[in-house]
DNA sequence: ATGGTGGTTAGACCA
């Protein structure tokens, strides 16, 4: 049986309930990781999402901003919420999912956006984003090298490759595509610098590195598809223990055309667990 | 250099 994991920054789960249901109907998804749920746990739409086929839900929400969740058709165990740099901002939750032949650890991560000014000395939000990525590094390096299969998903708010943005030249001084954050994310992807194995960038296994592919298009563009000024901010990374099982990955960009869309499209990865 | 849109929530703040 294939095992399918998707990630989606929904920009308010309550505003996007119909779209989440539509995604669940249109595609086979076992585990759906959400970011920017923007709701406290007490008001999370547990029943509506149960009715969509995801009775198992791990949630970490706060009022107004941020918020992550893992929705699953199968039981979740060992749910943990991670707080980085001492801030309880509901940006990282992970849990184990039983696949039938063993557990897979699934992560839903929401990296700080970083504001507008790409000078970390002048812009504390960007300094925070860079420190957040640094804080993640040892945690992710341990997961990358571990024997437990891990799939790391989320809105990383970084487009690491030149082909991850509509114009590398125009965006290289724009936060999400500055050299310093691209380098940090590519270092995380590569794993520890002791020669151990890193992560597999699932989508880039199926889309060549010189081909543009995006997961986010600003609300501010009148005709998002015609302009196609997008960026690849949402990622699915797979550790070495799980990488052999990866069989497919794609951006579900039709979701960006649905009524009242999120500005992000879902990314989906399929595994053939032996 | 500026402004364009959307969500939360009641004036900004965040993206």
pLDDT (tens digit per residue) in A78-114 = 999 999 999 999 999 999 999 988 999 999 999 999 9
pLDDT at site A23: 98
pLDDT at site A170: 96
Which nucleotide is closest, CA of A260 to its C1'?
A: B6
How is residue A120 written in tokens? 């970390």
Distance A83 CA to B3 C1' (A): 35
pLDDT at site A194: 65
Is 80 exceeded by the pLDDT of residue A119? Answer: yes
> Global pTM?
0.97
For strand B, the positions having any atom within 7 A of a protein Cβ are: 3-9, 14-15
pLDDT at site A274: 78
Per-residue model confidence as pLDDT tens digits over A225-238: 999 999 999 999 99
SS3 label, residue A201: strand
C-alpha dihedral over A77, A33, A108, A114, to 10 degrees? Answer: -160
A112: left (phi over 0), alpha (psi -120 to 50) or beta: beta
CA distances for A174 relative to A113, A126, A182, A200, A220, angstroms? 11, 11, 11, 26, 16
Across chain A, mean pLDDT equals 96
Per-residue model confidence as pLDDT tens digits over A183-223: 999 999 998 766 678 999 999 999 999 999 999 999 998 88
Contact A242, A147 (CB under 8 A): no
Q: Which residue has the tokens 């020669």?
A: A195
Domain CATH number, residue A93:
3.60.10.10
Which nucleotide is closest, CA of A116 to its C1'?
A: B15
pLDDT at site A67: 98
- Closest residue (Cα, C1') to B9: A64
Among A143, A141, A128, A137, CA closest to A96: A143
pLDDT at site A195: 63
When pLDDT is averaged across residues A134-150 and rounded to a whole number, the result is: 96
Distance A12 CA to B4 C1' (A): 21
**CA–CA gap between residue A146 and residue A272 (Å, rounded):** 20
* Domain of residue A34, residue span: 2-272
In percent, the amount of chain A with pLDDT more than 70 equals 98
Is 70 exceeded by the pLDDT of residue A37? Answer: yes
pLDDT at site A140: 97
- Count of domains observed in chain A: 1
Detail the protein residues whose CB sits closer than 7 A to any atom belonging to strand B: A 11-12, 14-15, 38-39, 63-65, 112-113, 115, 125, 157, 218-220, 260
Per-residue model confidence as pLDDT tens digits over A153-174: 999 999 999 999 999 999 999 9
pLDDT at site A27: 96
């Amino acid at each position: 049986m294939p095992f399918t994991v998707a990630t989606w920054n929904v920009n308010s789960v309550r505003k996007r309930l119909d779209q989440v249901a539509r995604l669940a109907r249109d595609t086979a998804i076992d585990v759906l990781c959400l970011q920017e749920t923007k709701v406290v746990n007490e008001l999370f739409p547990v029943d509506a999402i149960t009715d969509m086929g995801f009775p198992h839900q791990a949630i970490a929400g706060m009022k107004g901003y941020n918020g992550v969740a893992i929705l699953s058709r199968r039981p979740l165990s060992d749910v943990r919420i991670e707080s980085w740099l001492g801030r309880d901002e509901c940006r990282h939750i992970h849990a184990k999912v039983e696949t039938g032949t063993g557990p897979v650890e699934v992560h839903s991560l929401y990296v700080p956006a970083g504001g507008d000014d790409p000078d970390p000395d002048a812009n504390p939000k960007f300094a925070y984003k860079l420190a957040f990525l640094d804080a993640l590094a040892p945690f992710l390096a341990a997961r990358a090298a571990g024997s437990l299969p891990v799939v790391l998903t989320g809105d990383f708010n970084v487009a690491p490759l030149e082909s991850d943005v509509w114009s590398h030249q125009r965006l290289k001084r724009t936060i999400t595509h500055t050299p310093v954050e691209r380098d940090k994310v590519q270092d995380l992807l590569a794993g520890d610098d002791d020669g151990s194995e890193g992560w597999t960038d699932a989508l880039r296994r199926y889309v060549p590195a010189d081909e543009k592919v995006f997961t986010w298009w600003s609300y501010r563009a009148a005709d998002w598809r015609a302009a196609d000024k997008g960026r690849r901010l949402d990622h699915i990374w797979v550790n070495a223990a799980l990488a052999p099982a990866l069989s497919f990955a794609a951006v579900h960009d039709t979701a960006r055309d649905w009524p009242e869309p999120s500005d992000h499209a879902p990314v989906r990865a399929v595994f053939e667990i032996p």
